[in-house]
Structure 1
Amino acid sequence: MDPGGSRDPGALAEWVRGEASRCMYCGLCEPSCPTLPLGPHRGYGPRGRVYLALAAVEEGRLTVEGLASIYSCLLCAACTLACPAGVDVPGVVRAVRSLARTGLAAPGRADA
């Protein structure tokens, strides 16, 4: 499935669940991420973004800080090349950005 091609938030969230569940959180992707050293926590790296994406679709919410982590991704796909499971991290990030725009993973809802 092309995550960018789906306009149905439910289908997009389901795709994110499936893709994120393939992540083994092994960390082999992290050295390739150009934004990880710039962020204040691991959420600014591929593993953190996958975790945040899964939490966003499972809980239907994303904190403002979580959304900042999602939007800090450059979509360069260096992490996907390093990933032994081939997780499409840029696709997951694009999907969560789209879901945030629809309100399914609305920023700040976790703070309420």
Structure 2
Amino acid sequence: MDVPLGPQRAGRPRQEEPPQHPPRRRAGLCRENRGGTRADDALQREQEVATLHRALGRLSAENREVLILSRFQELKYEEIARVMNTTEGAVKVRVHRALNELKTIYLRIEN
């Protein structure tokens, strides 16, 4: 009878290393590219938050509602489905579409 040795012993799930990804950074925002200070970083953050609020304001009412419920109030999709009287699958689709619309509007405002 062969008994496997090491991390793949019978009865134990194999633990995989999480993939190593480089940190995601937007061009021009990382400190080493700008030579920025904490004050610069705080100002940049304030501007990004203001842009996000402007973009949220331009979303359709339905898309804004689903994003507020899912991202800001942190409700589960099942809970949102009950509130909106729809299915969980429909909520997932709406969140996905709302995030895409928000991204498009945000990037338009930013540029």
Give the TM-score normalised by the residue count of structure 2. 0.28
Higher RCO (C-alpha 8 Å, min separation 6)? 1
Give the TM-score normalised by the residue count of structure 1. 0.28
